[in-house]
Amino acid sequence: MKELIQDLVQIAGPSGYEADVREYVQKDLKGHVDEMKVDPLGNLITRKGPKDGSGLNVMLAAHLDEIGVIVTHLDDNGFARFTTVGGVFPRNTVGARVKFLNGTGGVIGMEPTGYSSVTPINQMYIDVGVTKKSEMPVKVGDVAAFERTFEDLGKRLVSKALDDRVGVAVLIEIMKQLKDTPHNVFGVFTVQEEVGVRGAAAAAYGVDPDLGIAIDVTLTGDTPKAKTMDVSLGKGPAIKVKDSGMISDPRVVAWMEAGAKRARIPYQKEILTGGSTDARAIQITREGVPAGCVSIPCRYVHSPSEMVDYKDVQDSVKLLVQLLKRPIKL
């Protein structure tokens, strides 16, 4: 899976501009699923299951998009002002490199306000290496993703956009490995998660699932002086109990725990005090859906250098494949 993850993180796809990532997934899953379509919002919806359509409709969701920036103004000296696309933290932004969708590269600088405090986004700019407005290779409305190489550290992987391309890789592998299931498993690769779980809301309305599961990353509490959180890299996928946007259905949590114990897969319990996932949108679609989330522990989330443990990634695939091979009784 490492090569798959590396390919995915190196494709630029900020929220609303996920087409290249979606195209890669379409090509990779061709021949491995029974159905595949793109809905009007841009979600890629794949299906695998019985030909007669029997069984539960189970929706798995992983989001294609990543955080980024968008140009709001060009000044006379060739600097681009910008705002954020998704949850870009100012503390991670100064000095970061970006790549526009037209191929232009740049570096984020800041006004000389001092280095002892965090500079707000409105006092930053993108320097693309020109000296006047007429030379600018970008325009207002152009979007960029952060630019950072993928690093394989052996047990650990580091890159930008592991949120949530690592989840996309997990979902791709699930759809490939799930050879036999009594359920209609919808592998949904969603758009615009980082700007309000918009894709998942539309996709869930169309799929109308009996059960919804998001596959995303979560924070950890295993770094020096980290905020207290009982999730660590290398201790297995995290089964979400609650985050700031949703409470997982207790029946879904119990089902996941039982499956992990049965398959002897290590797992953790996740309570996230800030942030949410596509599961929030799935849970409240139509008349409501039992929903949960399998989370991949990730350090430095929403920075240009996120980190995951490779075994956690593999065990996330293993857990969900084992769960979906069997009848589901909540």
Residues assigned a catalytic role: 193
Q: Which of 220, 224, 248, 244 is nearest to 234 (CA)?
A: 220
Which tokens go with 156? 């650990």
Q: At what angle do helices 2-9 and 19-29 cross, to 10 degrees?
A: 150
The label of the residue with tokens 């006379």 reads 76
Q: How many CB atoms lie within 10 A of CB 147?
A: 17
**Residue 58 to residue 211: CA distance in whole angstroms:** 5
Nearest 5 degrees, angle CA 311-CA 316-CA 321? Answer: 130
Return all residues near 295 (Cβ < 8 A) that are at least 6 apart.
216, 217, 218, 231, 237, 238, 239, 240, 270, 272, 277
